[in-house]
Structure 1
Amino acid sequence: MILLLSTSDDTNLDHVIDWLKLQAHAYLRLNADDVMEEPLHLSLQPPRLAFRGHEVDLSQVGVVWLRKFGNFRRSAFHARAASRLRRESLLQLEREHASLLTALTSLLEDKHWLTHPSRLRVNKVEMLLKAQRSGLLTPETHVLNRGEDLSRLLAGGEYISKSLFEPLFLKEEGGLYSMFTRTLEPEELPRMGEHFFPSLVQRKVEKEYELRVFYLDGECHTMAIFSQQSERTRQDFREIDWTRPTRMVPYALPMELEEAIRRFMRAIGLNCGSLDIIKSTDGGYYFLEVNPSGQFGMVSHPCNSFLYEKIARYLIDHDLRAQEAH
């Protein structure tokens, strides 16, 4: 049995499930936002999970794929409760929800995981340090909170700013407000003030193009993104130019870069994830960050990588191995 832990809006998982169905292999999908809505019964003795009319003996689960298991504040339950509960009560329910998810993953500690729960959250600065130690190039990086320090940096070249944590995307009636990577301009310094919240600042790397690498169990599936061909996507390819779509093509990484990526992923304990890398005009490949539950459909479709099928095959193979071991 394959157990899939995600959220209801995970369309990438939908496509992997299509391949599992094609192979007629048993699976159960549990969405973190559905546990407040659908019939649920989690038993510790014996370890069993009943959900949506399916009852699963957890000892029969051979492999677990952890995608985006959480997001209480983005659930329909939270949206309804926010208008009628006090903030403290809502925070308590969020903690209760997190405790339930932790209880479930604890019952599955001995399983084979594609993305282990302990590796779902990563720290950007820590990842940069471990990338360096694995032989990957990284941009010059600073975390600071004083205008005078930032001014000294900008006097010596161009720098960019990005979030220390994950980017924030706010949906409002008037539109979508997004955090993107942006260049810091010296004339903006007076508006920032002398003291601001600790911020991540990196020396700007002049891009020839960008690379999105989807890593799966030692294999690198890579796409080149020619974001420099449009002014809108030049700084951050996520700022999509719908009038002039960015060219995206399959890419073969240099062998030494692939091996450095493998060392890095082993060092941080991840067997799956999406890496962002810049191919610089100076010829270097600069690692930016890794996302354990990153999007891979954007690599699969343009590059004909068949990643949905490969992930399904990975899950099936490991589930069959677990069955044989029993």
Structure 2
Amino acid sequence: MKKRILIVTHKRDLHADLIIPLLERRGHAPVRLDLNAFPRDYALTQSLGDGRCRSSLRTLPGGEWVDLDEVGAVWVRKAAEYAYPSDDLGAQERAFANQETEQALFSMLYSLECFWMSHPRALRGALWKGEQLKRAARMGFRIPASIVTNSPEAARRFRDDVCGPIIFKAMSTSTLAAERIEAHERVAGGLGTTIVDDEMLGQLEAVSQLSCHFQEYVPKQYELRVTVVGERVFAARIASQDDPRTMVDSRDMSAPIAYSACVLPPEVARRCVDFVRSYDLSYGAIDLIVTPDGDHVFLENNPAGQFLYVQQLVPELAIMEAVADLLCTEAQCPR
């Protein structure tokens, strides 16, 4: 009997929507856990005693009970706010419910002895941008000169030391956390990577309000999105310098810039795989700059980064198929 594959995500995750049929065609019956419907639309039981631990899950109202001992692989895609049967929980009730739900859910998940893509502990450990840069440099990548500070004086000294343009780049999310609050409470939709111009330099006192991330501006020939799936590497070349909207930040998808498949130098490809594996991750989405001189400069790794848009733009990069293959293969490996 084939081991099951558990996908932890939310109802609006198109990645999961498209991967599930690939898993089914490979003979697997994946189990989907949508966190934005949990625990409202699920029943969960974890029983412990006599040296045994049994966990089971089913979708309400009439889904089958799934013995989670049958799970051989877990794909952790995206987090979401929990949902409860009652819509009128007070603030303290919801706060307590969230904590108890997290205890129940992760007590169950962390008890699973299986393959993870990737384990929540590894995902959290891989999030921190400053540590990523230090690790990348130690592993042989060139990195931009960088500073994280809430000292206006330190920011000014950094600007003087760089002797050239610097950028501001959010460390957590370029959306300015807009997705975490109600629409009527939003004051901005996002802030991409931005050149610090003279006007911004005149406002550096604002840095004292919140730690900010500044880097030297690295000249670009083009950029790379490198997706690592297990030992496989998929590199997309991004012609970001072909449009003014993407010269500084290539994430402006309104610009019709070209994406194309690219073969990395073997040492760079190996370094990308080793970097991802150094966190005990089995997946990563790495952003690199290629300079006019051909140097590969590490920017960041997204441990659960999006890949569907890359495959849509570059269909020959079969990332979805690689994800499905890895989950199916590892689910059957003895642990």
TM-score normalized by the length of structure 1: 0.88
How far does the alpha carbon of each residue in 1:292-313 deviate from its partner, in whole angstroms, 9 at most, with x for none? Answer: 1111112222222222222112
Q: Which stretch has the larger CA shift, 52-61 or 36-45? A: 36-45
1:98 shift after superposition: 2.5
* Alpha carbons of structure 1 residues 186 and 5: separation in structure 2 relative to 1, 3 Å: same
Which aligned pairs between 1:1-326 and structure 2 lie closer than 5 A? 1-45=4-48, 46-52=53-59, 53-68=63-78, 70-72=79-81, 85-86=90-91, 88-108=92-112, 110-121=113-124, 122-155=127-160, 156-167=163-174, 168-170=176-178, 172=183, 177-193=189-205, 195-241=208-254, 244-303=255-314, 304-322=316-334
Name the CA distance, whole Å, in 1 between partners of 2:44 and 2:84: 18
1:239 shift after superposition: 2.0
1:64 shift after superposition: 1.3
* Alpha carbons of structure 1 residues 208 and 201: separation in structure 2 relative to 1, 3 Å: same
* Alpha carbons of structure 1 residues 79 and 208: separation in structure 2 relative to 1, 3 Å: farther
Unaligned residue ranges in structure 2 (runs of 5+):
none
Q: Which stretch has the larger CA shift, 120-129 or 39-48? A: 39-48
* Alpha carbons of structure 1 residues 12 and 154: separation in structure 2 relative to 1, 3 Å: same
Name the CA distance, whole Å, in 1 between partners of 2:159 and 2:138: 27
Structure 1 residue matching 2:221: 3-state secondary structure: strand
1:146 shift after superposition: 2.1
How far does the alpha carbon of each residue in 1:87-115 deviate from its partner, in whole angstroms, 9 at most, with x for none? Answer: x443333323322332122221x211121
Name the CA distance, whole Å, in 2 between partners of 1:118 and 1:94: 19
1:249 shift after superposition: 0.5
Q: Which amino acid aligns with 1:202?
A: Q
* C-alpha contact 1:136 1:261 (8 A) present in aligned 2: no
Identity among equivalent positions (%) equals 27
Q: Which amino acid aligns with 1:71?
A: A
How far does the alpha carbon of each residue in 1:115-166 deviate from its partner, in whole angstroms, 9 at most, with x for none? Answer: 1111112111111111111111111111122222222332322111112323
CA RMSD of aligned residues (A): 2.3
Unaligned residue ranges in structure 1 (runs of 5+):
none
Q: Kindly tell me the number of residue pairs found equivalent between the two proteins.
A: 314
* C-alpha contact 1:32 1:101 (8 A) present in aligned 2: no
* C-alpha contact 2:228 2:284 (8 A) present in aligned 1: yes
Name the CA distance, whole Å, in 1 between partners of 2:253 and 2:324: 30
1:169 shift after superposition: 4.2
Name the CA distance, whole Å, in 1 between partners of 2:194 and 2:105: 36
Q: Which amino acid aligns with 1:320?
A: Q
How far does the alpha carbon of each residue in 1:153-212 deviate from its partner, in whole angstroms, 9 at most, with x for none? Answer: 323221111123233341535896013111111332333326332211111111111100
Structure 1 residue matching 2:246: 3-state secondary structure: coil
* Alpha carbons of structure 1 residues 57 and 9: separation in structure 2 relative to 1, 3 Å: same
Name the CA distance, whole Å, in 1 between partners of 2:247 and 2:325: 36
* Alpha carbons of structure 1 residues 169 and 79: separation in structure 2 relative to 1, 3 Å: farther
